């Protein structure tokens, strides 16, 4: 595989952009080698600057649920752009997308658009603090809520991949207000709440952890958090930046039947344009300026191109929910195929899947939280990653990221991925 152009671009980029990338995981640091510079994508395929084609299992880290360059999304964006790219004044489009979400998702009376998942989560905890008059939050080890100061403590995703789960530059004062619990450990949460009585404004979590692999909530965990939050007057925030509109239209809230007080969105909600949102019950959302005293604003928030893209994708999903069934079949086929390859080669693995998110832990333990996730064989993953890339399959370049499938994948693509995996594993095993 020739990637000379990508290598050259990377060399240039490193001199003028930190690490050559605008977001750390893209740099391939944890898998080694040179990142690919992508020129275009269509459906389930990525094309790099050297003209190589890959089956994409990242889907832009989530947004491309229906694949790249969806014709309806492209049409909406180009048509909207003709009327200018931003006004800094309200538009009809913002009402349409807010209407669709508040109408269809339980527990959401009002929604505010922002420009990224990070912004959504930062804003959500500020509102929760303003609403409760309390300072502390509880988050879970290995969960990622963007790069806001309060969240860069035992964080997942790139922070975990790069070995900086707790980042320098976050002040001790901020860190003190973030209490940490192990995912799926309800007792730990209860202890924290008791030890910090009337001090915890919010519990924030990925209801399905997706930034340390894919870890579903154990039975009773979300229910338990819901009732602890009720008992302690603490705001329960589901960070559905990854899971929202992916595991079901109504996200994890829908599949587990638990309603949070606030929900954050990102990724799919913008169909690949920079969008995030936070939403919730009226009484909480009315604390947001200009109705309420908690300040949060954005020059480009609710940007017309972003709203047009997001609305078009969400409407398509909403009007054709059977897409989720199709994606479920493909995801299940892929999960079972990959697992069979590993089992046939006696490679210990613990494989999780919720809908179109798949996480393989190369580990002989059941993985329910950060401790378990960290036992995954990172060296084996590194080898697999490069073997798969050679065979035209682009996996997330980190042992701690889930695979995100798109419905543009055809069943032949799934078979190709599985046979590439079989070839990769066979050649890794022979070499050892
Ligand atoms: C990606 C992600 C974020 C951050 O979103 P950005 O748009 O990258 O700022 C927050 N929470 C979760 C669960 C995510 O997966």
Question: Are the CB atoms for 310 and 100 separated by under 8 Å?
Answer: no
Res 185 pLDDT > 60: yes
User: How many whole angstroms from its chain centre is CA 334?
Assistant: 20
Average pLDDT, the chain: 96
* 347 CA distance to ligand 1 middle (Å): 31
**Is the minimum distance from the CB of 270 to ligand 1 under 6 angstroms?**
no
List, in order, residues 6 or more apart from 17 with CB less than 8 Å away. none
Res 110 pLDDT > 80: yes
Query: Which of 121, 244, 245, 298 has the most ligand 1 atoms within 8 A of CB, as the residue to mutate?
Result: 121
Neighbours of 72 (CB within 10 A): 14
- Binned at pLDDT 50, 70 and 90, residue 163 comes out as low
Q: Which residues are the active-site residues?
A: 144, 239, 267
**Is the minimum distance from the CB of 156 to ligand 1 under 6 angstroms?**
no
Atom number of ligand 1 nearest to Cα 117: 5
Q: What is the DSSP string of 245-306?
A: TTTBTTHHHHHHT---SEEEE-GGGGBTBS-EEEEE-HHHHTTBTTTSSB----TTTT-HHH
pTM: 0.97
Cα–Cα dist 362/196, whole Å: 37
Average pLDDT, integer, range 78-96: 98
Average pLDDT, integer, range 99-127: 98
pLDDT digit string, tens, across residues 44-53: 999 999 999 9
Q: What pLDDT, on the 0 to 100 scale, is given for residue 165?
A: 66
Atom number of ligand 1 nearest to Cα 116: 7
Res 15 pLDDT > 90: yes
Query: Which of 23, 266, 306 has the most ligand 1 atoms within 8 A of CB, as the residue to mutate?
Result: 266
**Is the minimum distance from the CB of 116 to ligand 1 under 6 angstroms?**
yes
Tell me, letter by letter, the H, E, C secondary structure of 103-152: HHCCCCCEEEEECCHHHHHHHHHHHHHHHHCCCEEEEECCCCCCCCHHHC
**Is the minimum distance from the CB of 221 to ligand 1 under 6 angstroms?**
no
pLDDT digit string, tens, across residues 231-287: 999 999 999 999 999 999 999 999 999 999 999 999 999 999 999 999 999 999 999
Average pLDDT, integer, range 296-318: 98
Res 214 pLDDT > 70: yes
Q: What pLDDT, on the 0 to 100 scale, is given for residue 173?
A: 87
**Is the minimum distance from the CB of 26 to ligand 1 under 6 angstroms?**
no
Neighbours of 200 (CB within 10 A): 26
Res 432 pLDDT > 60: no
CA atoms within 13 A on the CB side of 191: 8
**Is the minimum distance from the CB of 224 to ligand 1 under 6 angstroms?**
no
**Is the minimum distance from the CB of 424 to ligand 1 under 6 angstroms?**
no
Average pLDDT, integer, range 168-191: 93
Dihedrals phi, psi of 110, to nearest 5 degrees: -140, 150
From 376, 381, 394, 393, select the one nearest 425 (Cα to Cα). Answer: 381
Cα–Cα dist 121/264, whole Å: 6
From 383, 387, 397, select the one nearest 61 (Cα to Cα). Answer: 397
pLDDT digit string, tens, across residues 370-427: 999 999 999 999 999 999 999 999 999 999 999 999 999 999 999 999 999 999 999 9
Q: What pLDDT, on the 0 to 100 scale, is given for residue 430?
A: 87
* 19 CA distance to ligand 1 middle (Å): 20
Question: Are the CB atoms for 351 and 339 separated by under 8 Å?
Answer: yes
Angle between helices 221-232 and 186-195 (to 10 degrees): 10
Average pLDDT, integer, range 206-226: 97
Cα–Cα dist 38/402, whole Å: 20
* 302 CA distance to ligand 1 middle (Å): 18
**Is the minimum distance from the CB of 178 to ligand 1 under 6 angstroms?**
no
* 215 CA distance to ligand 1 middle (Å): 16
Q: To which H or E segment does residue 431 belong?
A: helix 411-431
From 255, 178, 242, select the one nearest 213 (Cα to Cα). Answer: 242
Residue nearest to atom 15 of ligand 1 (CA): 242
The rounded percent of the chain whose pLDDT value lies above 90 is: 93
> Domains in the chain, start-ordered, CATH in brackets?
4-69+321-431 (3.90.1150.10), 71-319 (3.40.640.10)
* 144 CA distance to ligand 1 middle (Å): 7
Terminal CA-to-CA distance of the chain, rounded, Å?
23
Residue 215: DSSP 8-state: B
Q: What pLDDT, on the 0 to 100 scale, is given for residue 37?
A: 98
- Binned at pLDDT 50, 70 and 90, residue 111 comes out as very high
From 316, 205, 209, 186, select the one nearest 263 (Cα to Cα). Answer: 205
Question: Are the CB atoms for 121 and 364 separated by under 8 Å?
Answer: no
pLDDT digit string, tens, across residues 29-41: 999 999 999 999 9
Atom number of ligand 1 nearest to Cα 121: 10
User: How many whole angstroms from its chain centre is CA 77?
Assistant: 23
- Binned at pLDDT 50, 70 and 90, residue 348 comes out as very high
**Is the minimum distance from the CB of 70 to ligand 1 under 6 angstroms?**
no
* 16 CA distance to ligand 1 middle (Å): 25
* 117 CA distance to ligand 1 middle (Å): 4
């Amino acid at each position: 595989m020739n990637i000379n152009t990508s290598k050259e671009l990377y060399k240039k980029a490193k001199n003028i952009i930190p690490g050559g990338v605008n977001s750390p995981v893209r740099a391939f640091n944890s898998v080694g080698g040179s990142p690919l510079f992508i020129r275009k994508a269509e459906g389930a395929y990525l094309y790099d600057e050297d003209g190589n084609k890959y089956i994409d299992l990242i889907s832009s880290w989530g947004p491309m649920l229906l694949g790249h360059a969806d014709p309806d999304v492209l049409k909406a964006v180009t048509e909207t752009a003709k009327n200018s790219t931003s006004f800094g004044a309200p538009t009809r489009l913002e009402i349409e997308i807010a209407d669709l979400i508040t109408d269809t998702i339980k527990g959401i009376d009002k929604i505010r658009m922002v420009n990224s998942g990070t912004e959504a989560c930062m804003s959500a905890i500020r509102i929760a603090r303003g609403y409760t008059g309390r300072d502390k939050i509880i988050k879970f080890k290995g969960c990622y809520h963007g790069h806001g100061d309060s969240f860069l403590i035992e964080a997942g995703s790139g922070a975990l991949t790069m070995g900086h789960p707790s980042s320098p530059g976050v002040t001790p004062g901020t860190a003190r207000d973030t209490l940490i619990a192990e995912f799926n450990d309800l007792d730990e949460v209860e202890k924290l709440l008791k030890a910090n009585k009337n001090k915890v404004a919010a519990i924030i979590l990925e209801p399905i952890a997706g930034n340390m692999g894919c870890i579903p909530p154990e039975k009773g965990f979300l229910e338990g958090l819901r009732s602890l939050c009720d008992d302690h007057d603490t705001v329960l925030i589901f960070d559905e930046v990854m899971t929202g509109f992916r595991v079901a239209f109504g996200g994890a809230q829908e599949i587990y039947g638990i309603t949070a007080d606030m929900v954050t969105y990102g990724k799919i909600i913008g169909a690949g344009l920079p969008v995030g949102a936070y939403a919730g019950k009226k009484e909480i959302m009315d604390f947001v300026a200009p109705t309420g005293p908690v300040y949060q604003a954005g020059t480009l928030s609710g940007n017309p191109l972003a709203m047009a893209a997001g609305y078009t994708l969400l409407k398509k999903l909403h009007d054709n929910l059977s897409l989720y069934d199709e994606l479920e079949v493909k995801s299940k086929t892929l999960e079972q195929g990959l697992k069979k390859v590993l089992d046939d080669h006696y490679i210990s693995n613990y494989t999780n899947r919720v809908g179109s998110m798949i996480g393989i832990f190369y580990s002989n333990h059941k993985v329910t939280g950060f401790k378990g996730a960290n036992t995954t064989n990172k060296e084996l993953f590194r080898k697999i990653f490069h073997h798969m890339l050679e065979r035209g399959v682009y996996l997330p370049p980190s042992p701690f990221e889930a695979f995100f499938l798109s419905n543009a994948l055809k069943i032949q693509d799934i078979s190709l991925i599985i046979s590439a995996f079989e070839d990769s594993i066979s050649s890794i095993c022979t070499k050892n």
